[in-house]
Amino acid sequence: MSQVRTSDNSIEPMISLSGVGKWYGAFQALDSINMSVAKGEKIVLCGPSGSGKSTLIRCINHLEAYQKGDIHVGGIRLGHGSKVIDAVRREVGMVFQQFNLFPHLTVLQNCMLAPMRTLGLNKPQAEGRARTLLERVKISEQAEKYPAQLSGGQQQRVAIARALCMRPKAMLFDEPTSALDPEMVKEVLDTMIALAEEGMTMICVTHEMGFARQVADRIVFMASGVIVEEAPPAEFFSNPKHERTRKFLGEVLGRH
């Protein structure tokens, strides 16, 4: 149920957050976050370090609990019951800055584990699916290797394939290229661009502004736990409304 038609005949968003508040002890990391991501939409989430970007996307698959507001994913309200959380996690793939491949499993096994254990695929089905997706991230010849035998860029592409093996309806990326050597950034971004072109719903935390310009439907800028502004890339880069956004853009674009 990726699209749920409501009475006014509008299409319900794939992911929506309304009034989400999150505290770490007394520290408020997210404050009244409202955000809506339509099916097939690509969002780039940016902002200074510590602004709450990771926290926000980690709330969407409930790696972090939040204390206020509501999150809906694919029509499911993300409550706190473990059944619902598991259901949402099966629908949403996540890619981490540090890849987090399982070191004791081969590339192929990394991709087969969750589909077999959570979707109930048998071994040939899971392997077929894994090989197809490894092909898609152009790494099929490494299927029998272990993560430690791959470069960072290759590992991150495997991580993307591993998430895709769950056939998710949306993908979350948390700074997927920040831990990479510069020469490997492109191969990962190209993989993400290809995924975007296939119509995947994506939320990407990244400081790769070239990628944002090329792929994003909207750029969301956060600071200190709030969404400061959001706009399509052209407008975001040419006409940022807030001082904090201008300052951030100056820093990020200055570096490139």
Partner 1 sequence: MNYTLDFTPVIDGLPNLLWACLGTFTLAISGMLLAIVIGIGGVILRQSRVKLLRWLVIGFVELIRNTPFLVQIFFIYFALPLAGIRLDPTPTAIIALGINGGAYAIEIIRGGVQSISKGQTEAGLALGLHKAQVFRLIILKPALRTIYPSLTSQFILLTLTTSIASAISAYELTSVSQRIESDSFRSFEVYFTVTVFYLVISWVMMRIFAFFSARYFSYPLR
Ligand X SMILES: Nc1ncnc2c1ncn2[C@@H]1O[C@H](COP(=O)(O)OP(=O)(O)O)[C@@H](O)[C@H]1O
Cβ 174 vs Cβ 54: under 8 Å = yes
Residue 96 is a binding residue for partner 1 (CB under 8 A): yes
Indicate the residue type of 190: D
Indicate the residue type of 40: G
Q: Name the minimum Å distance from CB 20 to ligand X.
A: 13
Q: Rule CB under 8 A: which of 148-167 touch partner 1? A: 148-149, 159, 162-163, 166
- Interacting span for ligand X (CB under 6 A) from 31-39, 42-50, 160-168, 233-241: 42-50
Q: Which residue, among 128, 123, 95, has the nearest Cα to 204 in the 3D structure?
A: 95
User: What are the helix (H) ranges across the chain?
Assistant: 53-60, 82-91, 107-118, 123-136, 152-164, 182-197, 209-215, 233-238, 243-255
When CB distances are held under 5 to 8 angstroms depending on the partner's kind, the choice from ligand X, partner 1, Mg ion, none that residue 118 binds is partner 1
Site pattern 49..88 for Mg ion (x: CB under 5 A): -----x----------------------------------
3-state secondary structure at position 141: helix
Question: Residue 120 burial by CB count (10 A; 0-12/13-18/19+): exposed, middle or buried?
Answer: exposed
Q: How many CB atoms lie within 10 A of CB 171?
A: 22
How many angstroms separate the most distant Cα atoms in the chain?
55
Site pattern 55..94 for ligand X (x: CB under 6 A): x---------------------------------------
Residue 219 is a binding residue for ligand X (CB under 6 A): no
Site pattern 12..31 for ligand X (x: CB under 6 A): ------------x--x-x--
Contacts with partner 1 by CB under 8 A lie at: 61, 63, 82, 86, 89-90, 92-94, 96, 98, 100-104, 113-114, 117-118, 146, 148-149, 159, 162-163, 166
